Amino acid sequence: MDLSEVQTKYPESETFRFGDSKELCEELTSLVINGTKTATCDSLSIYESGKEKMPTVGRVDIAMTWEGEPAVAIRTIEIEVKKFCEVDEEFALDEGEDDSLEGWRKHHKEYFERSGGFDPEMELVCERFEVIEVFR
């Protein structure tokens, strides 16, 4: 299914990619598709800057492959803004990328350092979602 068909089916959807590299995008998208990853987060500042549109509960968004093809539709079911240092183990494990809160903190600190800066007090938009449709 191409993007125009997907956007016709989900007209209010936003498109985005998981991760900041092809390898990470593929890994995280696979975790979503297989049901391991049911949560994600990003810096609140990325939304406040207008670079990304803030997720909203109930909206269906389209995760794209690194190459720009629709991969999976997800519906946001919960949003919470909290500081990096306040993220708990339950949320970290729901992200599906690590098997401990410590691993989550290490890898997310590295991600945020690569993408504009890290502070343990930085605010994150923590989002839980459910898979609606897989396109690939």
Tokens describing residue 27: 């890994």
Mean pLDDT of the chain: 95
Whole-angstrom Cα distance, residue 40 to residue 21?
16
Question: Stretch 39-46: mean pLDDT, rounded?
Answer: 95
- Domain spanning 3-134: CATH superfamily: Sulfate adenylyltransferase (3.10.400.10)
pLDDT of res. 1: 83
Helix (H, G, I), strand (E, B) or coil at 1: coil
pLDDT digits (tens, 9 = 90+) for 57-86: 999 999 999 999 999 999 999 999 999 999
Which pTM does this prediction carry?
0.93
Position 96 confidence tier, pLDDT thresholds 50, 70, 90: very high
Mean predicted confidence (pLDDT) in 1-5:
90
Tokens of 97: 């990328």
> For residue 136, is pLDDT > 80?
no
Largest interatomic CA distance in the chain: 41
Confidence of residue 105 (pLDDT cuts 50, 70, 90): very high
Domain regions of the chain by residue span = 3-134
- Phi and psi torsions of 106, nearest 5°: -60, -50
